[in-house]
C-alpha cells in the first residue's frame, strides 16, 4: 500500500468547500456533457457516462441538471461545439501541472491558460512537456467512516478484484486501477458492501515532487486554485506534494 499524500488530503477538504460554493456541480455537469457527447446517451451503453452520473448523484446534483447535461451532450439541447483539451506546464519550483478543459474557443482558452501560468510564477509549455510524468489510472475514492474492513483487508480485497494499488489518506482510501479495469474493480467493491464515493479516470504522477519552502508551496497552490476557478477547467493534476514540515493550517 502506498503512503499518503499531504496535498491530496488538503485537496479533498478543499473539494468539499468547492462543492458548497457550487463549483463542483458545474464540473460534474460538464463531465456528463462530455461523456454523453463522446458516446451513447444511455448510461447502460456508455461507461464513462454511467460513472459521471453516479458521481453527480453522490454529490446530490439535481436530476434535472443531470438530464439537461445529457441532452446537451447528445445534441438535443445545445448546438455549441465544445472541445476537450489539455494544457500543461510548470509551476513555481518546477512542479508539473496539467489542466483538462472543455471549451468552445481554443484560442481564447490557450491565451487565458498561458496568462494564468505566467501571472502565478509558472510557465505553460508545449503539449507533452510534462505529460510523460503522469499515467492514466482509474481512481476510486472510499471513505474510512462506516467501512467494515480494516486497512489490510481492504488492500487484499481490492487487489483480488484487480486493483493495482491503494493509497491511504486521512479520511479514506484511493484505489488505483488500470483504466480498462476500473468498472470491474468498482463493481467488485460494491458487491462486497464497500461504498464508492467517486470513480474517475485520472492522471496520476509517477513520482511526486516534495516542496519544503512554505512561500513556494503557497504560490503553487495559488496557481492551482486559479486554474481550477477558470470556467473552462475541468480538472488540474500536479506532481506537487508538501514536505512533512508543512501542514494545511500553514497554507
pLDDT digits (tens, 9 = 90+) for 91-147: 999 999 999 998 889 999 999 999 999 999 999 999 999 999 999 999 999 988 888
Domain boundary (43, 73, 103) is at: 73
104 and 226 part of one domain: yes
Q: Choose between 64 and 25: higher pLDDT.
A: 64
Q: Are 88 and 112 in the same domain?
A: yes
Helix (H, G, I), strand (E, B) or coil at 161: helix
Confidence at residue 17, expressed as pLDDT on a 0 to 100 scale: 57
CA distance 15 to 58: 14
One domain, residues 139 and 165: yes
- Domain check: are 148 and 193 in the same one? yes
Q: Domain check: are 153 and 187 in the same one?
A: yes
**Domain end point (choices 73, 96, 115):** 73
Secondary structure (3-state) at 49: helix
Same domain, 124 and 143: no
Distance CA(144)–CA(186), nearest Å, equals: 16
Percent of the chain whose pLDDT exceeds 70: 87
Residue 20 has pLDDT above 60, yes or no: no
Per-residue pLDDT at 25: 84
Distance separating alpha carbons of residues 235 and 65, to the nearest angstrom:
20
Are both 118 and 223 inside the same structural domain? yes
| Residues 128 and 218 grouped into a single domain | yes
Q: Give a yes or no: residue 62 inside a domain.
A: yes
Provide the domain limits for residue 15.
6-73
Residue 164 parent element (H or E): none
10 Å CB burial of residue 76 (0-12, 13-18, 19+) is exposed
**Domain membership flag for residue 78:** no
On whether residue 1 sits in a domain, the answer given is no
Q: What is the CATH number of the domain that holds 197?
A: 3.30.70.980
Considering the domain architecture, whether residues 147 and 201 belong to the same structural domain is answered as yes
Confidence at 30, pLDDT banded by 50, 70, 90: confident
What's the Cα-to-Cα distance from 43 to each of 9, 55, 65, 67, rounded to whole Å? 31, 13, 15, 11
In degrees rounded to 5, what are phi and psi of residue 249? -70, -20
Domain count, the chain: 3
- The angle at the Cα of 164, spanning 52 to 155, to the nearest 5 degrees, equals 95
We report the CATH number of the domain holding residue 43 as 1.10.10.200
What is the side-by-side order of every strand in the sheet holding 123-124?
A: 123-124, 83-90, 96-103, 233-238
Residues 160 and 177 in one domain: yes
Beta bridge partners of 87: 99
pLDDT tens digits, one per residue of 143-162: 888 888 888 899 999 999 99
Residue 249 maps to a domain: no
Indicate whether 248 belongs to any domain.
no
At 53 the pLDDT is: 93
Query: Is pLDDT above 60 for 1?
Result: no
- Phi, psi torsion values for 67, nearest 5 degrees: -65, -40
Reported pTM? 0.82
Q: Is 211 part of a structural domain of the chain?
A: yes
pLDDT digits (tens, 9 = 90+) for 78-100: 666 778 899 999 999 999 999 99
Domain co-membership, 176 together with 195: yes
Is residue 165 domain-shared with residue 191, that is, in the same domain?
yes
Confidence of residue 168 (pLDDT cuts 50, 70, 90): confident
Q: Is residue 251 part of a domain?
A: no
Distances (CA, A) of 186 to 116, 134, 195, 222: 36, 22, 9, 33
Contact 97, 236 (CB under 8 A): yes
Query: What are 183-220's pLDDT values in tens digits?
Result: 999 999 999 999 998 899 999 999 999 999 999 999 99
Cell 462543492 sits on residue:
19
With respect to residue 227, please indicate whether it lies within any of the assigned structural domains: yes
Strand 209-211 versus strand 240-242 pairing type: parallel
Amino acid at each position: 500500500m502506498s503512503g499518503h499524500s499531504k496535498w491530496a488530503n488538503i485537496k479533498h477538504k478543499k473539494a468539499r468547500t468547492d462543492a458548497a460554493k457550487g463549483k463542483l456541480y458545474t464540473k460534474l455537469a460538464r463531465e456528463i456533457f462530455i461523456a454523453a457527447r463522446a458516446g451513447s446517451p444511455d448510461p447502460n451503453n456508455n461507461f464513462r457516462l454511467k460513472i459521471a452520473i453516479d458521481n453527480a448523484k453522490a454529490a446530490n446534483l439535481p436530476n434535472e441538471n443531470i438530464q439537461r447535461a445529457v441532452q446537451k451532450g447528445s445534441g438535443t439541447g445545445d448546438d455549441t461545439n465544445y472541445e476537450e483539451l489539455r494544457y500543461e506546464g510548470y509551476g513555481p519550483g518546477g512542479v508539473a501541472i496539467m489542466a483538462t478543459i472543455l471549451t468552445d474557443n481554443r484560442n481564447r482558452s490557450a491565451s487565458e491558460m498561458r496568462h494564468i501560468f505566467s501571472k502565478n510564477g509558472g510557465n505553460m509549455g508545449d503539449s507533452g512537456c510534462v505529460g510523460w510524468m503522469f499515467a492514466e489510472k482509474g481512481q476510486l475514492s472510499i471513505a474510512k467512516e462506516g467501512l467494515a474492513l480494516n486497512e489490510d483487508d481492504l488492500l487484499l480485497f481490492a487487489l483480488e478484484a484487480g486493483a493495482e494499488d491503494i493509497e491511504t489518506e486521512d479520511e479514506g482510501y484511493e484505489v488505483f486501477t488500470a483504466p480498462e479495469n476500473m468498472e470491474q474493480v468498482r463493481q467488485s467493491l460494491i458487491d462486497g458492501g464497500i461504498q464508492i464515493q467517486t470513480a474517475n479516470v485520472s492522471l496520476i504522477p509517477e513520482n511526486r515532487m516534495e516542496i519544503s519552502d512554505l512561500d513556494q508551496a503557497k504560490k503553487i497552490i495559488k496557481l492551482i486554485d486559479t486554474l481550477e476557478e477558470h470556467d473552462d477547467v475541468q480538472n488540474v493534476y500536479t506532481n506537487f506534494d508538501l514536505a512533512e514540515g508543512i501542514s494545511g493550517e500553514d497554507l
